[in-house]
Structure 1
Amino acid sequence: MKGFIVAGTNSGCGKTTVSIGLMSLLKAKGYQVAPFKTGPDYIDPLFHQKILETPSYNLDTYLLPDNAVSHLFQKHSEGKDIAVVEGVMGMYDGLGVDLKGSTYELSQRLNLPVVLVVSCKGLYQSVGAIVSGFKNYRIHSNVKGVILNHCSSKEYYSFLKGIIEEECGVKCVGYVPSNKDFSLESRHLGLVQAEEVEDLQSKVQQLTDVLETTIDLEALSAISEFEFNKNVHFSVPKIDLSDLHLGVAYDKAFRFYYQDNLELLKELGAKLYFFSPLYDESLPFECNALYIGGGYPEVFAQQLSDNNKLMRLIKDKVEEGLPVYAECGGLMYLTEKIIALDGSENEMVGIFNTSVQMTKRLQRFGYADLKYEGSTTRCHEFHHSDLIENIKEANYLKEYELNKSEKQQSWNCGLQYKNCLAGYAHNHFYSDFQFFEKIVELWKGKNESTLIK
Structure 2
Amino acid sequence: MSKQGFVIAGTNSGCGKTTITIGLMHLLKKKGYNVAPFKVGPDFIDPRFHEKVVGTPSYNLESYFMDDKTLKHLFYKHAAKADIAIAEGVMGMYDGLGLEGIGSTYETAKKIEAPIVLIVGCKGLYQSVSAIVKGFMTLRPDNNIKGVILNHVSSDMLFQKYKEFIETECGIKCIGYVPPLKDMELKSRHLGLVQAEEVEALNEKVNQLSDILDKTINSATLLDIAKIEVKDSETFEIPFKKHELKGLNLAVAYDKAFSFYYRDNLELLEELGAKLQYFSPLTDVKLPENSNAIYFGGGYPEVFADQLSANTQLLQQIKTAADNNRPIFAECGGLMYLTKEIINTDGTKNNMVGIFNCATEMTDRLKRFGYAECELNGTKTKCHEFHKSTLSEDAQNIQHQYKLSKPLSKIKWECGLQYKNVLAGYAHIHFWSNFDFTKQIFDLWKRAII
TM-score for the superposition, normalised by structure 1: 0.97
Q: 1:399 aligns with which of 381, 398, 401?
A: 401
Look up the equivalent residue of 2:284 and give its one-letter code. D
Distance 1:188 1:236 in 2: 37
Q: Deviations over 1:32-77 (max 9, x none)?
A: 1000000000000000000111000000100111111100101101
Whether the 8 Å CA contact 2:79–2:230 is kept in 1: the answer is no
Structure 1 outlier segments of 4+, above 4 Å: 229-233
Partner of 1:241, secondary structure, is coil
CA-based RMSD of the aligned residues comes to 1.2
Whether the 8 Å CA contact 1:110–1:229 is kept in 2: the answer is no
Partner of 2:329, secondary structure, is strand
Whether the 8 Å CA contact 1:46–1:193 is kept in 2: the answer is yes
Partner of 1:357, secondary structure, is strand
Q: Does 1:45 align with 2:47?
A: yes
Q: Does 1:346 align with 2:357?
A: no
Alignment correspondent of 1:312: 316
Distance 1:84 1:184 in 2: 20
Whether the 8 Å CA contact 1:298–1:338 is kept in 2: the answer is yes
Distance 1:78 1:418 in 2: 43
Pairs within 5 Å for 1:212-361: 212-229=214-231, 234-239=236-241, 240-361=244-365
Deviation at 1:282, TM superposition (A): 0.6
TM-score for the superposition, normalised by structure 2: 0.97
Cα distance change, pair 448–76 in 1 and its aligned pair in 2 (3 A)? closer
Distance 1:421 1:429 in 2: 15
Look up the equivalent residue of 1:66 and give its one-letter code. D
> Structure 1 unaligned runs (5+)?
none
Alignment correspondent of 1:436: 438
Alignment correspondent of 1:373: 377
Distance 1:172 1:232 in 2: 37
Distance 2:114 2:132 in 1: 21
Report the number of matched residues.
446
- Segment drifting more, 360-369 vs 164-173: 164-173
Distance 1:268 1:72 in 2: 16
Partner of 1:406, secondary structure, is coil
Identity of matched residues, %: 58
Whether the 8 Å CA contact 1:403–1:409 is kept in 2: the answer is yes
Whether the 8 Å CA contact 1:67–1:232 is kept in 2: the answer is no
- Segment drifting more, 238-247 vs 314-323: 238-247
Deviation at 1:165, TM superposition (A): 1.3
Deviation at 1:230, TM superposition (A): 5.4
Alignment correspondent of 1:34: 36
Partner of 2:408, secondary structure, is helix
Alignment correspondent of 2:116: 114
Partner of 2:228, secondary structure, is coil
Whether the 8 Å CA contact 2:76–2:233 is kept in 1: the answer is no
> Structure 2 unaligned runs (5+)?
none
Distance 1:91 1:151 in 2: 21
Whether the 8 Å CA contact 2:8–2:118 is kept in 1: the answer is yes
Partner of 2:431, secondary structure, is coil
Look up the equivalent residue of 2:116 and give its one-letter code. V
Partner of 1:336, secondary structure, is strand
Alignment correspondent of 2:15: 13
